[in-house]
Amino acid sequence: MQLDDAGNYIINKLNDELPEYLNYHNSSHTLDVYEAVKRLAQANGIAGDEMTLLLTAAYYHDSGFLVKANGHEVESCRIARETLPNFGYDTNEIDKICGMIMATRLPQSPKNHLEEILADADLDYLGRDDFSFIANQLFLENSFFGTAGDMDAWNRKQVAFMEKHQYFTKTANNLRQAKKDANLGRIKAQVK
């Protein structure tokens, strides 16, 4: 499995082909999730081929936005199935990668530890200091699609989402839950 080549391929494609109105679902988000996966996986003792599969899934998890926003996870898997054999991935490995990608679909539904790690990495920002900036990027993107509403409506959506959200891994809970709770409290204070 040629992780670096597969990653460079999809990052270049995202940089070259994604529309500019994707303020959140872009290569910056992909690389952010990649770094979160690496951190969570190492803390959970993941190494070798499992680490390679996880990092590949991080690279490809939102590649479906190249095709469409709604249902992008299915498109991400299609892109992975078309592309990854060129980088030495076999069908079984790609099936595992697609399982991880599909686990990021909302509401998240991971079925194994690797899927839990990618799901947690995808929403790592909820419990970080840069939450407000990243959430604003998501607001701008959703505004383009007409799904954000005004800022008060957006804040209500964020509160509802964050109250239902849970981290799956002990590591993510330990690293991010307290800050996520603080971020949630700040948004609740802004709701009219």
Residues of the chain with pLDDT under 50: none
Q: What is d(CA 44, CA 168) in angstroms, rounded to the nearest whole number?
A: 12
Task: Please state, in angstroms and rounded to a whole number, the distance separating the CA atoms of residues 41 and 102.
Answer: 18
The pLDDT of residue 148 is: 80
The predicted model scores a pTM of: 0.95
Look at residue 192 in the predicted model and tell me its pLDDT: 76
Residue 59 has which token pair?
A: 């690279």
Question: Among all chains, which residue has been given the structure tokens 């060129």?
Answer: 86
Neighbours of 145 (CB within 10 A): 11
Catalogue the long-range contacts made by 26-33 (C-beta closer than 8 Å, 24 or more residues apart).
26/65, 29/62, 30/58, 30/59, 30/61, 30/62, 30/63, 32/124, 32/125, 33/58, 33/61, 33/62, 33/118, 33/121, 33/122, 33/124
Residue 35 has which token pair? Answer: 């770094």
CA 1 to chain centre: 22
